[in-house]
Amino acid sequence: SRERAKALLGLAAKQDHARAQNDLGVLLLQEAAHRKDGLRLLEISAGKGYAKAQNNLGMWHERVGRPAGDSEEDASDAPDLSAAIRLYRRAASQGLPLAMFNLGCALLRQAAQRQDEAAAGNDTREAIALLSCAAASGVADAHYFLAVQYQSGRGPDAPNFALAKEHYQCVLVAPNAAPATVARAMHQLANLLYREQQFSSARALYERCAYEHTCADSFNALGIMLEDGHGPLGQPDCRAAARAFEQAQRLGSADAAVNLAALHLRGAGVDRDLAKARNLLRGAPDHPRADALLRRIRLEDRSLAAT
């Protein structure tokens, strides 16, 4: 049980066992009443050079920050990226793959916040080197972050779509990849294949991502492909596109709501229904296409009223 584990770890921690101090600290951080004690144990373990404690303490600083202390100067609950980077760096220097990954991601965040382009470039190059080491050590999420860098044009050889595809594919076959990471990688890989006009392969991946991971963006992309004639029939299939848009819209996609509204406005694959189109567009008020489609609906209303 959890309490039994805490008791046993507590005995070992009192004997100055660094791993026990780390493991107990992690458990206590999950309990609001004992977070201060958990943080103190992590700091003790990290101070002894235990890499996992340094990494865990870095994650705390990056995502949460120190809990309020007893004194004015100690009171702070704001995340501290600089402190996190220092701790990740200590753990990464000992070869801990997860620390390399966390340090790489933290450096990318730091690069995005910098005003100095040269410093940001240095951060990005170091981040990619660290993520590459983490990926080679089996951290699946590192492959995803590398792929994003190469796809977006921020890598050393970027944009490099071939490398981006390679890293996305590594995520898909990684046994330890989180389902959410797999879904994101699958959708982005499909986007790259679509960009290269490999429509059949892109559609197959969108379908897998949509139905296996309930991905709204993939349902929407699938609808666009079907509407544009890149489906199995080799010609526009607005009825099937509407079904895909409906699925995506139910999952919260504003793009799909607008695409479905456009079909109802045209009467393509669905009944021509101006009221339904208007309601769909009202559900996506900030979408860049919504205003233009609403103006078309108002013109249609006036035209119908004049006849």
Whether 6 contacts 27, CB under 8 Å = yes
pLDDT 10s digits, 64-103: 876 544 444 444 567 899 999 999 999 999 999 999 999 9
Distance (Å, rounded) from C-alpha 100 to C-alpha 222?
36
**Torsions phi, psi for 46 (to 5 deg):** -65, -35
Cβ atoms < 10 Å from Cβ of 305:
7
Distance (Å, rounded) from C-alpha 227 to C-alpha 208?
18
Of 136, 235, 151, 233, whose CA–CA distance to 189 is shortest? 151
User: pLDDT category, 307, cuts 50, 70, 90?
Assistant: low
What's the pLDDT score for residue 1?
Answer: 84
Distance (Å, rounded) from C-alpha 57 to C-alpha 27?
13
Distance (Å, rounded) from C-alpha 270 to C-alpha 251?
20
Distance (Å, rounded) from C-alpha 139 to C-alpha 153?
22
- The model scores a pTM over 0.75: yes
What's the pLDDT score for residue 136?
Answer: 96
Q: Does pLDDT of 45 surpass 60?
A: yes
Q: How many helices (H) and strands (E) does the chain have?
A: 16, 0
286: left (phi over 0), alpha (psi -120 to 50) or beta: alpha
